[in-house]
Structure 1
Amino acid sequence: MADFLFVPYSSHGHINPLLPVARELVARGDRVSVIVAPNFAPAVAETGARVLRLPTSSHVVVPERFDPVDSCRRLFKAFDDRRAIFAVLRGELRHRRPDLVVFDPMIPRVFRIAHDRGVPTVLFSTTYAQNEHVIASTVGRNLGAPVGDLLRRPWARRLHPWAVEAARDHELVLVNALPELQPAVRTFGERFRFLGPLTSSKTDHCGDLPWREIERRRVLLVSPGTVFARGPKFFGPVVEAFRDSDRLVVLATGPTDPESLGSLPSNVIARRRVPQAALLEHSDLFLTHAGMNSTLEALGAGVPMILVPRVLDQRVNARRVAELGAGIQLDAKWLHPVLLRHVAHRLTTDPSVRGAVERLKARIAGQDRPAAAATALQEAANGSCRAEVIS
């Protein structure tokens, strides 16, 4: 029996991929402990893992418009949250020595705390991996190729703490992404395991939604994610594009009150939160922020995407999906009903799009990826981590 201590970043996009892996390890008889914010504690407890609660809840919401006061508040809250994580981690390591500390690259200092106490670590990334080549390519697209080429030097790893920790020779790195979605995938060594989707595949018809209607109509699911808020200016063009059409539109508005969208046509449903995986099983199109979990869920369900990213990692995901032919990337500033109707028509009628989506769906189907992640962690805990890439 191995003993694992998970230190995730307490956010839906980071906790959700962890849950199936923790459940699998517990089912195999391993001991699993997770340091987590109270609002995620029930979900972690359901896996059978031991919950190490942080003192305060964590619910990150970034407003649609820049607000310096809100930004400062979130920054100070992030510092406080990390100090709490480090305090709980140090306290736990004073009393026992787990076989592995599995931590999120959003909290790189965990490596140093564990290393100082002689505990091996594994990185668990919920989006694509980073190294100097990925950094250089990303910077080069924004600041020009010469700047990007300069950052391909090994010292550039120090510009990104994730890459610094990932570069350590003794580490295993689990990546919640398909190799096809990983930028510069050939530049990563054998320690990187590109697992693909780890989020739950539960598709229960929960929530107060008209499931019979959903099952018989063409459905456009719209979800900008749980962190970055979108308001009426974002949802408005979508509503107008498909107003009174034969398509059913389901909006997941998140922090935005559905009432703020005004009177909606009969074919548009707005809820703060929806069971995304279940809805994707009945959707023929998905308008998404291109977060890694949402992207993988859509590909697993065989649904093409209108990709409207907001931050850097989402832009990288969106660009890659578009390059693979499974979606079209748009800028939120230029959303217009005519453009949305045109893009929706192309994505749902173009045979090349359907072929690309089906190929990626086939790559995901039929593999127990949480089990593969659990096996990799057990091997690392036993000191027999094999060199392979799950593909």
Structure 2
Amino acid sequence: MADFLFVPYSSHGHVNPLLPVLRELVAGGDRASVIVAPNFAEAVAATGARVLRLPTTSHVVVPERFDPVDEYQRLVKALADRRAIWALLRGELRHQRPDLVVYDPMIPKVFDIACGHGVPTALFSTTYAQNEHVIALTVSRHLGTAVGDLLRTPLARRLHPWAVETARDHRVVLINALPELQPAADTFGRRVRFVGPLTAATAERCDDLPWPEIERRRVLLVSPGTVFTRGPGFFRTVVEAFADSEWLVLLATGPTAPESLGPLPPNVIARRSVPQTAVLEHAELFLTHAGMNSTLEALAAGVPMILVPRILDQRANARRVAELGAGVRIDAKLLHPQLLRLVAQRLTTDPAVRTAVDALRARITAQNGPAVAAGALREAADASCRFDHTSR
């Protein structure tokens, strides 16, 4: 039996993949403690893990347009939240020594604090990993191969903070992705384990959606994620594309108020949030921001994607899914009702798309991500215990 201390980044996209891993560990008799914001405490406690509650709620939202005042306030709160994490972590490490500290690359100082207390670490990343080869590929796309090749050196890791985290002396690095979605996957050593997707065993429904209608109609799910928001104009374009069509369109608007979209046609339903995995079980198409969690959930459900990314890792995910034939990437600036209709038609009628999606779904089905992740953490904890015993 091992004792784990987890320090996730308190947002939905980072905590949710951790939950099935916690369940797997606790069910196997291990102990798990988690430092987390109050709004995630109930979900974490439901896994059987011990909750170390941070003092403030975490709501990570990045608007479409940059606002210096909002950004300053967000940075101030983020710094306060991290100081609270560090205080809880130091207190926990002083009073009891876990076998392994498992942390998110968004909170890099955890590594230094754990090392200062002589406790080994594991990295838990909810998107693809970074190293000098991934950085070189990214730069090559923008500045050319010659510039990218200059960065194929370990010194290039310093250009990307997550690359620094991946390169550190961890017992194991867990990546919530498939190797097929990892750029330069063959350049990572055996210490890096690709364990995605990490999703709940059962998809929970909510009561305010017309599930009989969802089960019998062609469903288009639209969700730009919980962090990087889209404004009313984005959703209105989708509504215009599919208004009064055979599609039942479900919009997950997040921070954007559904009422700001104006009157909606009968075949369009807007909610701030929907149970994504439950809806994907019945969806024929998914319009997504291409975050890693959403991408994996869609592939696990066998649903092709219209990919409209916002930031670097989402763009890389979208590019790779499109290369694999499981979706079509669209620049948000080019989003237009007619284009959306044409892409939807292609994705739902092209046999090559169905073949690609089914192949990836089969690949996912063959891998029990939570069990693989839990097994890797147990191996790392066992190695740490043996190392400590030998060193004495």
- TM-score greater than 0.5 by the shorter chain: yes
Q: Aligned residue for 2:372?
A: 372
Post-superposition shift, 1:160? 2.1
- C-alpha contact (below 8 Å) 1:2/1:31 kept by paired residues: yes
Post-superposition shift, 1:135? 1.1
Q: Aligned residue for 2:50?
A: 50
Identity over aligned residues, as a percent?
A: 77
Post-superposition shift, 1:345? 0.1
Distance 1:143-1:79 versus aligned 2 partners, 3 A rule: farther
Distance 1:86-1:279 versus aligned 2 partners, 3 A rule: same
Post-superposition shift, 1:71? 1.1
In structure 2, what is the Cα distance between the partners aligned to 1:60 and 1:207? 26
- Pairing 1:114-263 to 2, within 5 Å after superposition: 114-263=114-263
- C-alpha contact (below 8 Å) 2:100/2:384 kept by paired residues: no
SS in 2 for 1:200: coil
In structure 1, what is the Cα distance between the partners aligned to 2:140 and 2:366? 37
* Aligned partner letter, 1:343: V
Unaligned runs of 5+ in 1: 386-391
* Aligned partner letter, 2:236: G
Q: Aligned residue for 1:362?
A: 362
Post-superposition shift, 1:68? 1.1
In structure 2, what is the Cα distance between the partners aligned to 1:177 and 1:33? 24
Q: More displaced, 91-100 or 360-369?
A: 360-369
Per the normalisation by structure 1, the TM-score is 0.96
Post-superposition shift, 1:164? 2.0
- Pairing 1:230-309 to 2, within 5 Å after superposition: 230-309=230-309
Superimposed CA distance per residue, residues 45-102 of structure 1 (whole angstroms, 9 cap, x where no aligned partner): 0011110011111111111111111111111111111111111111111111100000
SS in 2 for 1:229: coil
Post-superposition shift, 1:166? 1.9
Q: More displaced, 205-214 or 304-313?
A: 205-214
In structure 2, what is the Cα distance between the partners aligned to 1:237 and 1:165? 39
Superimposed CA distance per residue, residues 127-150 of structure 1 (whole angstroms, 9 cap, x where no aligned partner): 001101111111222233333222
- Pairing 1:330-341 to 2, within 5 Å after superposition: 330-341=330-341
In structure 2, what is the Cα distance between the partners aligned to 1:365 and 1:358? 10
* Aligned partner letter, 1:337: P
Q: More displaced, 157-166 or 117-126?
A: 157-166
1:347 maps onto 2:332 in alignment: no
SS in 1 for 2:357: helix
1:86 maps onto 2:97 in alignment: no
Q: Aligned residue for 1:328?
A: 328
* Aligned partner letter, 1:11: S
- Pairing 1:15-94 to 2, within 5 Å after superposition: 15-94=15-94
RMSD of aligned alpha carbons:
1.2
* Aligned partner letter, 1:295: T
- How many matched pairs? 385
- C-alpha contact (below 8 Å) 2:120/2:384 kept by paired residues: no
SS in 2 for 1:148: helix
